[in-house]
Structure 1
């Protein structure tokens, strides 16, 4: 397995990133809002009007709007989470906002392939003018993994592989990628992020050690 050893970055690397700068304004307490405002319980009507509220809080100076990534509804889990696809929904909210950061809480890197994640993330980052911040995780709903043909117990390892692949795709590099999740040579990802990088914030432990998270 060939790795380019592209590591995470500290805050200084995102000093010019509009979304990160909005969320982590120096010396300020910032506030965001987490969607959905009301949980789905069989009636899609509870989701009506969310875009209007997000537009209003954008005007009021809120820092971020967060959406969850829940591919499948498990009635035994306790809640449906975010019903809409996170990237599609954030793209919709992009058109209704101007400055608020658009954040995932969290994109499930252990389920989605890194090429699809990187394509969606870079597209949304460009459409929003660099406002995307990715909260990422390994997933907490066991029923989803066999539906994807994956082993729930291996989500920690797959999470790390997906993060590595994602970072290499977004790096300004023509080096080949040779990993368990795929091999890539003589091709690269478009579009490129507005500021060259997209912030990744690991939520929870995602089955990783503290040194790795650090």
Structure 2
């Protein structure tokens, strides 16, 4: 199954947000930072409906099973697939993405079952970001060795694809034994795009051969020259893709969107957050598009302004420059 060519010309979410030489915009959840009170999320459903109605390309959730205080980041708190399933019933068009599932924690049958179910129930709107995990404290809790996560990542991805895509697959491994049984349902478009996040303990050549796309951090974003390095990284990866097949690249940035449209791109928190006005953001997104980025997932949880106000400004002033596709 690995190294096989998967195409997604009939995949609704894929074609909404990915195309050669185009960049689309999504938003990362949570829209607020969790600080011990879940009631802050009570209004988020209305905000997410707003995102959908304003025609953003995607919403993205993170998979953080356990809270590690040394990281200081609980993510959106809710289980990624449970939350996306709920949001699938509240939205109509927006793609639903994981950014990213910690693949070594999953059994391939369970992952195939839950993703195909969500893909069917959402009308083919699921994009699966997968990573090997970077929070070492979580691995002993799952009874798994942190140092072997790369090998387990490869095996689970391969078996997940077999179970999802093949009719009555035959698997005999230490993880699964399938012979004469099948998974129902299957994904709407026969397969679910699986985007490798970062290196995931794999070589660049392996990612070029076996991913359906690549999610990377952008690096510094304050100056135009910063994006040149990102473009070089994307080009090096794309040169390794067999037959020059189109595979999308996406990246993300946490932003504090200032009311002043002319506020210059200014790194905060050691470069972890970018404070900028909308004109600086448009410049950054344009540079990313020129560098070969196909989708930008923006996190607004560090912004000081009301969430609906930020969504409206992004939708009215930024999104028209980078519209969602086939919408």
Residue 29 of structure 1 deviates from its aligned partner by 2.8
Cα displacement string for residues 154-193 of structure 1 (whole angstroms, at most 9, x for unaligned residues):
1101000100110000123324101231211111111010
Q: CA deviation at 1:8?
A: 5.4
Partner secondary structure for residue 200 of structure 2: coil
Q: Identify the residue that residue 184 of structure 1 maps to in structure 2.
A: 178
User: What is the rounded CA distance, in whole Å, between the counterparts of 2:202 and 2:94 in structure 1?
Assistant: 30
Deviation at 1:48, TM superposition (A): 2.2
- SS across alignment from 1:76: coil
Select the residue among 53, 67, 76 that pairs with 2:47. 53
Question: Which aligned pairs between 1:1-214 and structure 2 lie closer than 5 A?
Answer: 5-7=1-3, 9=5, 13-25=7-19, 28-214=22-208
Distance 1:108 1:8 in 2: 23
Q: Give unmatched runs, 5+ long, in structure 2.
A: 209-327
Q: What is the Cα-based RMSD across aligned positions, in Å? A: 1.4
- Deviation track 1:44-88 (CA, whole Å, cap 9, x = no partner) reads 122222221111111111000000011111111121112000101
Which stretch shifts more, 180-189 or 153-162? Answer: 180-189
Contact between 2:133 and 2:200, CA under 8 Å: does it hold in 1?
yes
1:7 aligned counterpart, secondary structure: coil
Contact map agreement 2:169 2:182 (CA 8 A) in 1: no
- On the 8 A contact 1:108/1:137 being kept in 2, the answer is yes
C-alpha contact (below 8 Å) 2:168/2:183 kept by paired residues: no
Residues in 2 aligned to 1:20 and 1:104: alpha-carbon distance in whole angstroms? 13
Residue 81 of structure 1 aligns to a residue whose secondary structure is: coil
Please list every run of 5 or more consecutive structure 1 residues that lacks an aligned counterpart in the other structure.
Answer: none
Deviation at 1:27, TM superposition (A): 5.3
How far the C-alpha of 1:25 sits from its partner, in A, is: 4.3
* Preserved CA contact (<8 Å) 2:163 2:169: no
1-structure distance, mates of 2:121, 2:2: 25
Q: Verify the 8 A CA contact 1:138 1:156 in the aligned structure 2.
A: yes
Deviations 1:96-130 (A, max 9, x none): 11011000000111111111111110000000000
Q: Is the 8 A contact 2:63 2:100 kept in 1?
A: yes
SS in 1 for 2:101: strand
Aligned residues: 208
d(CA) in 2 for partners of 1:167, 1:158: 14
Contact kept? 1:134, 1:201, Cα under 8 Å = yes
CA distance in 1: counterparts of 2:5 and 2:33, whole angstroms: 35
User: Once superposed, which parts of structure 1, at least 4 consecutive aligned residues long, lie more than 6 Å away?
Assistant: none
Please give the alpha-carbon distance, in whole angstroms, between the structure 1 residues aligned to 2:91 and 2:194.
Answer: 22
Contact 2:61 2:99 (8 Å CA) reproduced: yes
Distance 1:180 1:211, change over 3 A: farther
